[in-house]
């Protein structure tokens, strides 16, 4: 799976899967968020949030690189390491 980096006003870095089923966002406060589409266009719902010092967005993207894109963004929760449980 690969991620496409786009602009999103709430994030320093925002990358999503090509189909838009999931995204990874990095806030200016150093929080990493795993997100799925919300109810409205361009709205995202946070599934999990953790400090980037515990597990960086880069480490997550590298780990996901060897996987196929999931059918549902929520399927990525089972792929997260214990460091993201906060």
Q: What is the pLDDT of residues 18-67, one digit of tens each?
A: 999 999 999 999 999 999 999 888 899 999 999 999 999 999 999 999 98
Domain extent at residue 53? 4-75
Domain assignment of residue 85, yes or no: no
Query: The pTM is what?
Result: 0.91
C-alpha dihedral over 25, 30, 31, 37, to 10 degrees?
Answer: -20
Domain assignment of residue 10, yes or no: yes
Residues paired with 15 in a beta bridge: 5, 24
The residue-averaged pLDDT of 68-76 equals: 93
Tally the domains of the chain: 1
- From CA 61, how far away is CA 15, in angstroms rounded? 9
Domain assignment of residue 18, yes or no: yes
Domain assignment of residue 86, yes or no: no
């Amino acid at each position: 799976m690969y991620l496409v980096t786009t602009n999103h006003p709430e994030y320093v870095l925002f990358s999503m899967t090509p189909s838009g089923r999931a995204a990874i966002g990095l806030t200016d406060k150093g929080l990493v968020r795993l997100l799925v589409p919300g109810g409205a266009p361009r709205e995202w719902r946070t599934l999990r949030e953790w400090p980037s010092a515990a597990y960086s967005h880069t480490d997550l993207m590298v780990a996901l690189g060897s996987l196929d894109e999931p059918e549902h963004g929520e399927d990525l929760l089972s792929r997260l390491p214990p460091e993201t449980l906060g």
